[in-house]
Amino acid sequence: MKLFFIRHGETVDNVAGVYAGIRDSALTSHGFQQAQRLGQHFNTTSVTFTHIFSSHLQRAFKTGEAIRAVQTDIGTLVDLEDTAADAENPLAGEEGVRIIQLPLLAEQDFGYYEGKPFYARVKGSNTSGKDAHHEEHKNDPGFVDVESKESMAKRSDIFLDEHLLPLIQKPTQDPEHVVAIVSHGIFLGNHWRCLLRRLPPRSVQYTPEVRARNPGRIVLEHLGGWSNTGYLELDIKQSRNALVPEVALADSNSNAARSPDGQIAGEPVVTEEDASVPLERPFEHEP
């Protein structure tokens, strides 16, 4: 199975420099063009999605819609009433690939800070402007805190259990599943780490392009850092009971894989012992 974690295009709130988590910020004209170019990139590289999951927020959904529109002129866009069972056969009949919109894939909720400008770091302080403001106002009436990493991880785990892992584990007689998850930068970083925890230890391999561009160490958990319409590409293979993903990073402006932070965690290998580890075993970090 091929799996793509994709960030949405540029939004009005990106340009304005304000916090936009669950705030439903629209794509700019440039953001829509970015999404179209990304769809064209997938088309020219022969990537045809069999499943597209999207955050229910319009910036992610519209990005997914632009990607879908390039690969087919048909398709029924589904809403929150669609079930996981509907996603198992998305190409049935003449409807084409469907976009499954899910609040589970929404961005981190910034609470009180939604729609507010980024707070500058206090001069001479190591504390971020937002953290400093949080300490000053956290007990104010009506203050709503930022969604925790634990809450986002819970949403990620539900999505993995109910939507993604059934596709990975279900045999198919058709061409392999090619799955897009169109979401948001902070959530995607969290979601990638949640998926890593489901993989057998030492089971991740990097593409030659990623290794060539990063001769040092790559921090596996921090392979994110998505720009607008940037994406993480994984080629997931079954080895006995284990998943063996191959990882590449790219964005809509480049056909080459890249690592945005230039860091990596050891040379991963797959051993016979690793190959017998069940999917539920948690990921173990390299020293």
Distance spanning both ends of the chain, measured CA to CA: 29
**Residue 285 counted as an annotated binding residue:** no
Q: Binding residue per annotation — 68? A: no
- Residue 155 in marked binding region: no
Dihedrals φ, ψ of 36, to 5°? Answer: -65, -45
Q: Is there a binding annotation on residue 59?
A: yes
Q: Is 9 annotated as a binding residue?
A: yes
185 appears as a binding residue in the annotation: no
Strand order in the sheet with 178-183: 99-102, 51-55, 178-183, 2-7, 231-239, 242-250, 205-206
| Residue 8 among known ligand-binding residues | yes
User: Is 17 assigned to a binding site?
Assistant: no
Whether residue 189 is annotated as binding a ligand: the answer is: no
Indicate the annotated binding residues: 7-14, 59
Indicate the annotated binding residues for substrate: 7-14, 59
